[in-house]
Amino acid sequence: MEENKKENEVLGKDLYVNSGYLFNTRVPFKEKKLPLRILSAGTYQLFTWPKLPTWRPKGRVDWQIIYIAAGEGHFILNGQEVVVPAGNMVLYQPKQQQKYFYYGKDRTQVWFVHFTGRQVKSILKHYEIPLDGYILHTGISREYEDCFRKMRDELIKCSWGYEEMLTYLFRELMLLIHRRMTEAMPQVSGFIQEEIERAKDYFEEHYNEEISIEQYAASRSMSTSWFNRSFRGAVGTSPMKYILDIRIRNAQVLLETTDYSITNIAAVIGYDNPMYFSRMFRKAKGMSPAKYRKTYREKFLADVPNE
């Protein structure tokens, strides 16, 4: 009977570690036959331990999910340090560079699971887990911890059918994440609000440039789907509609206050094609740019009192 080694270290009141490993080995491997296999699961909790760093320049051959249950984690994602607070998970795919650390002053607690298999991508896609970013905004749930804890215990005890139970528990975790991430957000957390405000500032400053929502989301280590959904939930409109509104608003100002040609105004607000600009303006305001200018000026002149 195969046994796993239980890792359970309590270093005074500084650091708590409790993890379980498949086949009692810390060496990760890539499963090529089975659809899904759980390799390890466990938890770290810092009390006064100064710093707990992890640095894997070439990543790992397996997948990893880290759940920030308390405190915060500091992750280097796409070359930037991103502070990930409690209520979020970080998904690492195979061979993605991993560099992150936790501070004792934050009293951080994290849960993790490592997994592999030939159908991992399909399984994650089934539960609509985004693969184009790192951060999963899942919220805090005791149910998450229960899944991680049960997976760890299965790896430690190796009871009959434990590998089957591990895959069941992992799918339960994915289902919980899917439900939480697709629910209507009852409120916007501070972390989300900060990201949305940052995005709004960026759009206001760069609205007349070519903006890729996909590239912007990736630069903030977020999936495009999550960013779009969160932005709409916080602002009430999509990121692209928000940018369009900025362009139309500034086009109105130029039409009202200058004699610039429609072509020039289109170029100023970020459109190379004046016909496309006119089409977007008409769709937004119900009339062409030229008619808008004419109507505005007729109304303005009519409202000016005779002296």
Mean pLDDT, residues 102-107: 90
pLDDT category at 5 given cuts 50, 70, 90 is: very low
Q: What is the pLDDT of residues 88-99, one digit of tens each?
A: 999 999 999 999
The span from the CA of 78 to the CA of 218, in Å, is: 8
Task: Return the minimum-mean-pLDDT range out of 36-40, 54-58, 67-71, 179-183.
Answer: 179-183
pLDDT at 84 over 70: yes
pLDDT at 9 over 90: no
- Rounded to the nearest 5°, which phi and psi values hold at 53? -95, 155
Q: What is the pLDDT of residues 195-212, one digit of tens each?
A: 888 898 899 889 999 999
How many Cβ atoms are within 10 Å of 110's Cβ, its own excluded?
25
Say what the pLDDT of residue 181 is. Answer: 82
What is the number of alpha carbons within 13 Å of residue 132 lying toward its C-beta? 14
Give the percent of the chain with pLDDT over 90: 60
Say what the pLDDT of residue 1 is. Answer: 36
Q: What is the pLDDT of residues 168-184, one digit of tens each?
A: 999 999 999 999 887 75
pLDDT at 187 over 70: no
pLDDT at 307 over 60: no
User: Residue 20: which of 40, 44, 34, 35 has the closest Cα?
Assistant: 40
The span from the CA of 189 to the CA of 180, in Å, is: 14
Query: Are 136 and 177 spatial neighbours (Cβ–Cβ below 8 Å)?
Result: yes
Task: Please report which residue ranges of the chain form alpha helices under DSSP H.
Answer: 120-126, 142-157, 162-182, 190-206, 213-219, 224-235, 239-257, 262-268, 274-285, 289-303
Mean pLDDT, residues 30-40: 95
The span from the CA of 30 to the CA of 197, in Å, is: 40
Quote the tokens at residue 158: 């190796």
Quote the tokens at residue 138: 């899942």
The span from the CA of 20 to the CA of 135, in Å, is: 24
Say what the pLDDT of residue 140 is. Answer: 84
Query: Are 97 and 58 spatial neighbours (Cβ–Cβ below 8 Å)?
Result: yes
Q: What is the pLDDT of residues 245-303, one digit of tens each?
A: 999 988 998 998 888 999 999 999 999 999 999 999 999 999 999 999 998 888 766 55
Residue 51, Cα to own-chain centre: how many angstroms?
25
Mean pLDDT, residues 35-58: 93
The span from the CA of 18 to the CA of 13, in Å, is: 14
Say what the pLDDT of residue 6 is. Answer: 42
Compute the mean pLDDT over every residue in the chain, rounded to the nearest whole number. 87
For the four alpha carbons of 298, 304, 306 and 307, in that order, the dihedral sign comes to negative
Which residues of the chain are in CATH 2.60.120.280 domains?
6-182
Return the CATH superfamily for domain 241-303: Homeodomain-like (1.10.10.60)
Quote the tokens at residue 7: 């890792």
User: Residue 40: which of 58, 19, 66 has the closest Cα?
Assistant: 19
Which residues of the chain are in CATH 1.10.10.60 domains?
241-303
User: pTM value?
Assistant: 0.67
Angle at 230 between CA 226 and CA 231, to 5 degrees: 115
pLDDT category at 47 given cuts 50, 70, 90 is: confident
Exposed e or buried b per residue across 86-103, where buried means at least 16 C-beta atoms within 10 angstroms of its C-beta: bbbbbbbeeeeebebebb
Mean pLDDT, residues 32-60: 93
Q: What share of the chain is helix, strand, coil (3-state, %, to 5)?
A: 45, 25, 30
pLDDT at 305 over 60: no
User: Residue 219: which of 71, 38, 23, 82 has the closest Cα?
Assistant: 82
Mean pLDDT, residues 103-110: 91
Q: What is the pLDDT of residues 109-149, one digit of tens each?
A: 999 999 999 999 999 999 999 998 899 988 888 899 999 99
Say what the pLDDT of residue 120 is. Answer: 97
Read off the amino acid at residue 16. Y
Say what the pLDDT of residue 205 is. Answer: 87
DSSP state of 118: T
pLDDT at 56 over 60: yes
Domain 6-182 has CATH 3.40.50.300: no
pLDDT category at 190 given cuts 50, 70, 90 is: low
